[in-house]
């Protein structure tokens, strides 16, 4: 018997499968590359480059970005602008590569916790290929949310693999410094640290409390900075607690099922129905799972709820239709699709078929789902890139005689200033 070499072979095989599945998440980008090539600098991106131009990259990094304190993201994003010579295509390519890494990492965390490949592949297909993520994956400032997810998944992977405090703390800090809702990463790992291992004595609980405090510290520090310094709705919450709760409820109840199931209706009945379906899946998955799988599900559910609370506070003024915005799907998908994958795996286990027949059936189902999602990008990519690319390029670069002074996506900036930045930083 040679268990150690066998374990190494298993880990190597898993790593190869996860690498391939991560690469497959690039298919929408590759299939519709012509659409994504039309994208151009838009909205907040001009404002950020304008600030870099006035302040310099280093000083600008440490300033608040709306309700975000994100020096890590700003340093990386601003560095890309300079390194890529103003190429928006390179910015979007980096965003998609990061997304592919996240798809692989989600699968790795699920496998580390003991979930089957059936569960992993369904989660990866739904998370990796859905056109519901279009704004997240076609606007470079959304790299902030994608990076925070990368660091959260890395923190969870380290936690479930070895509980190495130093590595987990580094990823927790990186997540909090990349996106405002990245502060949830420290909360999740801290909560996970409080769960005792099977058979562990009660005498170790004080150590777990200490570890949880260490994991939570970076998120608390960043949250305090945001609460006291950053601008945003959190500074004006008096009388709006109900609005925030309603917005968060709509977000939690509708996403991501409203898009994934192609539901057309919107209203409290739809929120209630989809929310009840989502809750039923959560209750079933937690009740049926054990050990690390159950802990993972609890943490993901907490992550989804945390996003609902923070979005309710930060965006209650934008109206209920905004709860279904494509920029909010990314986190919601990670919070629920692993549980849906687990449900599928348990259903497949009970099918009266051989292992090979079940495998073929699952492969066909996931293949059909993946192809349907890839095809779904066509209409969305065409309209989105026309709005964020073709029209923006025309107004800024070609229609020089236009009377409008409103830069697309950021009417507070004059067209003359935008064209100065285009020329200086070779934005293309």
Assess whether pLDDT exceeds 80 at residue 402.
no
Tokens of 52: 């870099």
Instruction: Assign 365 to helix, strand or coil.
Output: helix
- Return the HEC string of 213-269: HHHHHHHHHHHHHHHHHCCCHHHCCCCCHHHHHHHHHHHHHHCCHHHHCCCCCCCHH
Residue 65 main-chain phi, psi, to 5 deg:
-120, 95
User: Do the Cβ atoms of 340 and 95 come closer than 8 Å?
Assistant: no
Residue 68 main-chain phi, psi, to 5 deg:
-115, 140
Count of beta carbons in the 10 Å neighbourhood of residue 125 = 25
Rounded to whole angstroms, the maximal C-alpha distance in the chain is 79
The residues, any chain, with a CB within 8 Å of residue 49's CB and separated by 6 or more, are: 41, 81, 421, 425, 427
Assess whether pLDDT exceeds 90 at residue 395.
no
pLDDT in tens, 281-328: 999 999 999 999 999 999 999 999 999 999 999 989 888 899 999 999
User: Do the Cβ atoms of 186 and 219 come closer than 8 Å?
Assistant: yes
Q: Which of 316, 156, 336 is nearest to 260 (CA)?
A: 336
pLDDT in tens, 13-49: 899 999 999 999 999 999 999 999 999 999 999 999 9
Alpha-carbon span 71 to 63, nearest angstrom: 8
Q: What is the pLDDT of residue 404?
A: 59
Tokens of 224: 């305090």
Q: Which of 421, 397, 175 is nearest to 303 (CA)?
A: 175
* CB hemisphere CA count around 50 (13 angstroms): 18
In sequence order, the β-bridge partners of residue 65 are 68
The H-or-E segment that residue 307 falls in is helix 291-315
Q: Let me know if 11 is exposed, middle or buried by CB neighbors in 10 A (0-12, 13-18, 19+).
A: exposed
- Orientation angle between helical segments 143-161 and 329-349, nearest 10 degrees: 40
The residues, any chain, with a CB within 8 Å of residue 172's CB and separated by 6 or more, are: 151, 155, 185, 186, 189, 215, 218, 219
Residue 224 main-chain phi, psi, to 5 deg:
-65, -40
Alpha-carbon span 38 to 27, nearest angstrom: 18
pLDDT in tens, 146-200: 999 999 999 999 999 976 777 889 999 999 999 999 999 999 999 999 987 766 6
Q: Let me know if 93 is exposed, middle or buried by CB neighbors in 10 A (0-12, 13-18, 19+).
A: middle
pLDDT in tens, 98-136: 999 999 999 999 999 999 999 999 999 999 999 999 999
């Amino acid at each position: 018997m040679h268990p150690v070499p066998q374990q190494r072979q298993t880990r190597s095989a898993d790593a190869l499968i996860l690498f391939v599945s991560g690469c497959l998440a690039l298919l929408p980008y590759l299939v519709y590359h012509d659409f994504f090539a039309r994208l151009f600098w838009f909205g907040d991106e001009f404002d950020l480059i304008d600030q870099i131009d006035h302040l310099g990259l280093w000083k600008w990094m440490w300033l608040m970005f709306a309700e975000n304190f994100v020096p890590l993201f700003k340093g990386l994003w601003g560095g890309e602008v300079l390194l890529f010579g103003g190429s928006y295509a390179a910015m979007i390519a980096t965003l998609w590569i990061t997304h592919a890494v996240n798809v692989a990492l989600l699968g790795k965390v699920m496998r580390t916790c003991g979930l089957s490949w059936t569960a992993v592949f369904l989660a990866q297909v739904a998370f990796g290929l859905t056109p519901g993520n279009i704004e997240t994956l076609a606007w470079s400032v959304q790299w902030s949310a994608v990076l925070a997810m990368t660091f959260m998944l890395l923190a969870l992977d380290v936690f479930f693999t070895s509980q190495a405090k130093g590595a987990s703390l580094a990823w927790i800090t990186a997540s909090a410094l990349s996106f405002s809702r990245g502060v949830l990463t420290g909360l999740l790992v801290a909560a996970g640290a409080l769960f005792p291992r099977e058979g562990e004595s009660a005498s170790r609980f004080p150590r777990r409390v200490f570890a949880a405090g260490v994991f939570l510290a970076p998120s608390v520090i960043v949250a305090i900075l945001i609460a006291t310094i950053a601008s945003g709705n959190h500074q004006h919450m008096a009388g709006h607690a109900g609005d925030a709760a309603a917005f968060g409820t709509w977000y939690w109840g509708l996403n991501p099922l409203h898009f994934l199931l192609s539901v057309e209706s919107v209203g409290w009945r739809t929120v209630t129905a989809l929310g009840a379906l989502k809750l039923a899946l959560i209750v079933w998955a937690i009740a049926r799972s054990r050990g690390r799988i159950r802990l993972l599900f609890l943490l993901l559910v907490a992550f989804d709820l945390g996003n609902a609370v923070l979005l309710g506070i930060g965006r209650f003024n934008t109206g209920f239709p905004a709860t279904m915005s494509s920029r909010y799907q990314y986190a919601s998908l990670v919070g629920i699709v692993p549980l849906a994958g687990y449900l599928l795996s348990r259903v497949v286990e009970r099918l009266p078929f051989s292992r090979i027949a079940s495998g073929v059936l699952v492969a066909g189902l996931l293949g059909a789902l993946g192809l349907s999602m890839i095809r779904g990008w066509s209409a969305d990519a065409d309209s989105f890139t026309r709005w964020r690319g073709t029209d923006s390029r025309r107004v800024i670069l070609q229609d020089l005689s236009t009377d409008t002074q409103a830069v697309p996506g950021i009417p507070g900036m004059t067209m003359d200033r935008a064209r100065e930045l285009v020329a200086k930083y070779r934005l293309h």
